[in-house]
């Protein structure tokens, strides 16, 4: 006798066991298993374990998958609109959780959380991105804005535009942040020159540049720590 029309797919039991493991000890799951679960709702009609493993292998890790460009995700067979949406949703939820730990708080006193947020939002970007953290007089973060996006190794930054935006927000201080897609956070000569131009433009208007952070993969560089500010 053939299986009934409402018979569960062969992987249903595996999904139930994985969910139970997750609820009991989420830290016990491997990265591919977390990704597998993220894909459950997006791809209900097939076993998502092979796809999760393929994505991890292609991009190098869970963070890299979540930060991958949509076009590159779609290069993997089986990744369609719903899967892309689920992955983007997971990334956005993680970023908002990280951001909540620093927004409207004294970032100088929450430096570790700030570094974690910057790493989560920028470390795996395939192109350079320049963002500015705007602070009030109590060093509370009042705005976090991406100012410019560039190519693999260059982002155009205009000091007057940076300072103009600070004045619009009534910010008293700035923390500059950008990423190096190469993974090496060592500041370049151009980075140093641009930072000094922003400092020179901001200082007469009473706006201080607290630091410039360069985010790499698993590492970061601080201009202030390096004595460049």
Ordered by start, the domain boundaries in the chain are 12-97, 104-222
Per-residue model confidence (pLDDT) at position 174: 95
Read off the pLDDT band of 35 (50, 70, 90): very high
CA distance 68 to 85: 12
Per-residue model confidence (pLDDT) at position 224: 92
Decide which of 3.40.190.10, 2.60.40.10, 3.40.140.10, 3.40.30.10 is the CATH code for 104-222.
Answer: 3.40.140.10
Element (H, E) at 35: helix 31-38
Percentage of residues in the chain with pLDDT exceeding 90? 38
As a whole number, the mean pLDDT across the chain is 85
pTM of the entire predicted model: 0.68
Per-residue model confidence (pLDDT) at position 166: 94
Helix axes 31-38, 12-24, angle to 10 degrees: 120
Taking the CA atoms of residue 154, residue 156, residue 159 and residue 160 in that order, the dihedral angle to the nearest 10 degrees is 180
Per-residue model confidence (pLDDT) at position 7: 55
- Residue 91 in contact with residue 67, Cβ under 8 Å? yes
Which long-range contacts does 89-92 make (Cβ < 8 Å, 24+ apart)? 90/38, 90/66, 91/66, 91/67
Sheet containing 141-149: order of strands: 141-149, 129-135, 173-179, 208-215, 220-222
């Amino acid at each position: 006798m053939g299986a009934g029309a409402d018979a569960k797919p062969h992987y249903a039991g595996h999904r139930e066991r994985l969910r139970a493991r997750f609820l009991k000890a989420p830290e016990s799951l491997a990265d591919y298993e977390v990704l597998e679960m993220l894909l459950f709702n997006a791809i209900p009609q097939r076993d998502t374990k092979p796809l999760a493993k393929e994505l991890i292998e292609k991009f190098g890790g869970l963070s890299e998958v979540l930060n991958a460009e949509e076009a590159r995700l779609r290069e993997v067979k089986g990744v369609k609109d719903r899967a892309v949406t689920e992955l983007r949703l997971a990334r956005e939820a993680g970023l908002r959780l990280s951001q909540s730990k620093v927004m409207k708080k004294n970032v100088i006193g929450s430096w570790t959380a700030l570094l974690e947020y910057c790493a989560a939002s920028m470390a795996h970007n395939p192109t350079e991105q320049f963002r500015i953290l705007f602070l009030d007089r109590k060093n509370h973060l009042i705005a976090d804005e991406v100012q410019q996006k560039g190519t693999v190794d260059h982002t155009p930054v205009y000091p007057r535009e940076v300072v103009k935006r600070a004045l619009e927000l009534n910010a008293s201080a700035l923390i500059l942040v950008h990423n190096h897609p190469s993974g090496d956070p060592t500041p370049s000569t151009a980075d140093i020159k641009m930072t000094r131009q922003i400092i020179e433009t901001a200082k007469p208007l009473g706006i201080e540049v607290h630091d410039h952070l360069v985010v790499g993969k698993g590492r970061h560089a601080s201009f202030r720590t390096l004595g460049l500010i």
